[in-house]
Amino acid sequence: MLAPWPTGLLPEDSEGTVPTPWGPVTVLSGSVEALLATTDGRWGVALEGATVEAMRADLHGRWFLAELDGATYDVLVCAFGTGRALSSLAQQADRAEALHSTKRVQLPVGGCTLNGHDVVFIWPQAPSVGISDVDLLDQFRAAGTVLGALEPWSTPPVERRWNDAMATVEQRLGTSTLWRAPHDRATVGLPDLQLSMHSLVEGDGGPRFRPLPRTVDEALTDVVGRRPGLAHAMALEGEAVEAGRGSDAGGPEAWFNAWSDGAPAAWSNPRAQSTYRGGLWIWRYANVMRWRGRALAWDDDDLQAATQSWLEDVDRLQARLGVLRMWRSLLWLGAAGVAAAWYAHALGSLTQTASLALAGASIAVAAGGWLRYRAAEPGPF
């Protein structure tokens, strides 16, 4: 059973650590029996001697069903090294307990890490739940709750790092788009976690998110590290729209409102949603860039065409924002007019009436420009 291969990124016979145009990639190898038997880097539940049955393969690697002492487990053997963020999170007792307390997430209970990369993950066996079978409002609300559980370990916005990462992705993918954002101070960074509507499993309180490691393309092109809650919300929105459910349960705005109900209120305040500050749109953009990387790495022509169409809309949005910033510049023109009126009156160059008229006109220009700037801001939906 072979996992799909990113032929757009590296040759199929690659072994070890291989250079690619996007950075080095470590190709993992080894049989599932040998990896389960090894004690090097093993953590959590051990399945040495388990009965193993091959199930399927996907972009992450090869999946197996393992049975030991009457218990069954889902086992993922990763195809590529993408770091060890997931195993680190699962082994941090305080964060893992906070996530478990939501009853809407299933973390791995064991695995194996070698040379700085997660190689094997083990979960209690659970049936998969398709994205077409879930209540979207409930699942978005659950996602907000899961992410909110990590708020005690949040960090202040790192806009420079996020913007630098975006610049790196744009350069690697060769896109013509360019987007940088100041972000709101409520847009805090969260511990590294990957939630997806495509990795849901059955649970007592409803479908549970089963966090998975990044695929190789995501590891090389994603805005990695401590992303904010908005980034996760927009990634889930993109999956629901791509699955053909864009108008279900009220659509993206209703989904986001449900997500906001579960997440801390500050994360979705008006300033955090403001397009001028990046808001929801810049994280939609980051998500499409992730899809773009996947399309190129895995030679998906249809996805390449879809992402290119979306990126052309980004160019139009950027042009509109540029025009609107010209209206905002009237604030400075108005301030300069008021200052000129005051100095002219102080120096006796203008009468009091003329100075007041100039100041009033300047204030009117500034107010008009500001009101136009605010009224024409592109909405988040």
Say whether pLDDT at 40 is over 60.
yes
User: Model pTM?
Assistant: 0.88
Say whether pLDDT at 341 is over 80.
no
Say whether pLDDT at 330 is over 60.
no
Point out the least confidently predicted range of 66-70, 74-78, 121-125, 318-322. 318-322
Angle, helices 251-262 vs 229-242, to 10°: value is: 140
SS3 assignment, position 51: strand
Say whether pLDDT at 235 is over 80.
yes
Residue 122 exposed, middle or buried by CB count within 10 Å (0-12, 13-18, 19+):
buried
Pairing of strands 208-209, 200-201: antiparallel
pLDDT of residue 354: 67
HSE of 41, CA atoms in CB hemisphere, 13 A: 16
Point out the least confidently predicted range of 106-120, 140-154, 210-224, 354-368. 354-368
Q: Rounded to whole angstroms, what are the CA distances from 109 to 8, 56, 84, 87, 160? A: 34, 20, 14, 9, 35
pLDDT of residue 116: 93
Point out the least confidently predicted range of 75-89, 173-187, 366-380. 366-380
Least Cα distance to 83 among 209, 198, 222 occurs for: 222
Contact (Cβ atoms closer than 8 angstroms) between residue 288 and residue 238: yes
Mean pLDDT over each residue of the chain, to the nearest integer: 89
Least Cα distance to 207 among 218, 194, 196, 215 occurs for: 196
SS3 assignment, position 66: strand
Point out the least confidently predicted range of 148-162, 268-282, 326-340. 326-340
SS3 assignment, position 145: helix
Confidence of residue 375 (pLDDT cuts 50, 70, 90): low
Strand partners, 73: 66, 124
Say whether pLDDT at 367 is over 80.
no
Measured between alpha carbons, how far is 311 from 289 in angstroms, rounded to an integer?
A: 9
Confidence of residue 329 (pLDDT cuts 50, 70, 90): low
Residue 344 exposed, middle or buried by CB count within 10 Å (0-12, 13-18, 19+):
middle
Residue 245 CA to its chain's centroid (Å): 19
Least Cα distance to 218 among 185, 240, 196, 201 occurs for: 196
